[in-house]
Amino acid sequence: MSLPSSTSLLLSLTILFCCLISFVCANRLIHQTCMDCSKNDPNISYKYCVTSFRSNHKSLYAKKLQELGLISIKIIRHNVTDTNAHINELLKKGNKSIDPFIKACLGDCLEVYSDTISTFRDAIRDYKAKRYADCNVKLSSIIDASTTCEDGFKQKNDAISPLTKRNEDTFQLSAIALSIVNMLINTDK
Ligand SMILES: *[C@@H]1O[C@H](CO)[C@@H](O)[C@H](O)[C@H]1NC(C)=O
Ligand SMILES: *[C@@H]1O[C@H](CO)[C@@H](O)[C@H](O)[C@H]1NC(C)=O
Ligand SMILES: *[C@@H]1O[C@H](CO)[C@@H](O)[C@H](O)[C@H]1NC(C)=O
């Protein structure tokens, strides 16, 4: 066996080892963060938290809670942006069979969710400047948007919300981000 090939083998093994270590560490950060989140807020499911972070490749490279927190806010923004587009689509379909009550509710949802676009911008600005208490207020208003939207449909007994899954996603994801922000408030003191 020639020396260069054993060197390159060693190099490959080293790279593999480093990848493995950083992957394990990132997973530990996600695991620990989601454990803490679900402990601090009974509304947060550990499994949901882990799954949502793992589905975002950036969180696999996160080394600190601060990084994970920002990623979590961006995950919600991505989710809500998609929900906005989805509601627009539902409304624009010109589907005559769409119930007028449902249509009105969808309009209300679009309004509250559209308002969150500027809220996300401010929340991210606050987060980056470590104004965690201000960021908390903004994230809370995003949670409110999800419950306001879902509650609208409940005003009529036989109405079925077409947005339940999406509202639940927004609620869960925002609760996770809020929980991280609250941990950061406490560690900053
Ligand atoms: C859990 O969700 C409920 C329903 O929205 C809310 O009233 C309550 O404050 C939440 N709990 C926490 C700890 O945030
Ligand atoms: C929103 O987030 C949830 C949880 O990570 C995910 O299951 C869902 O697919 C996302 N939806 C969109 C439209 O990105
Ligand atoms: C209208 O929407 C309803 C519910 O989404 C669906 O079941 C129905 O097939 C749609 N009708 C047309 C004409 O697109």
**Structural domain 6-188, CATH architecture:** Up-down Bundle (1.20)
| Integer CA distances (angstroms), 116 to 87, 161, 184, in order | 14, 20, 23
| Integer CA distances (angstroms), 183 to 133, 136, 161, in order | 11, 11, 33
Decide which of 30 and 11 is more confident. 30
- Digit-coded pLDDT (tens) for 119-174: 999 999 999 999 999 999 999 999 999 999 999 999 998 889 999 999 999 999 99
In whole angstroms, give the CA distance from residue 171 to residue 43.
Answer: 9
Q: Give which of 180, 146, 189 is closest to 32, Cα–Cα.
A: 180
- Digit-coded pLDDT (tens) for 90-106: 988 766 678 889 999 99
Is ligand 3 within 6 A of the CB of residue 157?
no
- Digit-coded pLDDT (tens) for 151-160: 999 999 888 9
> How many angstroms separate the alpha carbon of residue 89 from the centre of ligand 3?
13
pLDDT at 3: 60
Residues with CB under 6 A from ligand 1: 41, 43, 147
Closest ligand 1 atom, residue 42 Cα = 13
Residue 2 has pLDDT above 60, yes or no: no
pLDDT at 154: 94
Domain locations along the chain: 6-188
For residue 53, give the amino acid letter.
F
Ligand with smallest separation from the Cα of 54 = 2
- Digit-coded pLDDT (tens) for 35-65: 999 999 999 999 999 999 999 989 988 889 9
Q: Please, how many CA atoms are within 13 Å of residue 116, restricted to the half-sphere of its CB?
A: 30
Among positive and negative, which fits the CA dihedral 167, 173, 175, 178? Answer: negative
Q: Please, how many CA atoms are within 13 Å of residue 10, restricted to the half-sphere of its CB?
A: 6
